[in-house]
Amino acid sequence: SYVLTQPPSVSVAPGQTARITCGGNNIGSKTVHWYEQKPGQAPVMVVYGGGDRPSGIPERMSGSNSGNTATLTISRVEAGDEADYYCQLWDSSSDYYVFGTGTKVTVL
Partner 1 sequence: QVQLVQSGAEVKKPGASVKVSCKASGYTFTGYYMHWVRQAPGQGLEWMGWINCDSGAAKYEQNFQGRVTMTRDTSISTAYMELSRLKYDDTAVYFCARLSGDRYFDYWGQGALVTVSS
Q: Which stretch binds partner 1 (CB under 8 A): 14-22, 42-50, 55-63, 73-81?
A: 42-50
Q: How far is the CB of 21 from partner 1 (least distance, A)?
A: 15
- Binding status of residue 24 toward partner 1 by CB under 8 A: no
Angstrom distance (rounded) from CA 78 to CA 94? 38
Angstrom distance (rounded) from CA 88 to CA 80? 22
Angstrom distance (rounded) from CA 63 to CA 90? 17
- Binding status of residue 2 toward partner 1 by CB under 8 A: no
Q: Check: CB of residue 87 under 8 Å from CB of residue 99.
A: yes
Looking at residues 61 to 80 of the shown chain, list those that interact with partner 1 (rule: CB under 8 A).
none
Q: Check: CB of residue 27 under 8 Å from CB of residue 70.
A: yes
- Binding status of residue 57 toward partner 1 by CB under 8 A: no
* Distance spanning both ends of the chain, measured CA to CA: 36
- Binding status of residue 85 toward partner 1 by CB under 8 A: no
Q: How far is the CB of 15 from partner 1 (least distance, A)?
A: 28
- Cβ neighbours for 95, distance < 8 A, ≥ 6 positions apart: none
The site for partner 1, by CB under 8 A, has a size of: 24
Q: What is the contact surface with partner 1 in residues (CB under 8 A)?
A: 1, 31, 33, 35, 37, 42-45, 48-49, 54, 86, 88-90, 95-102
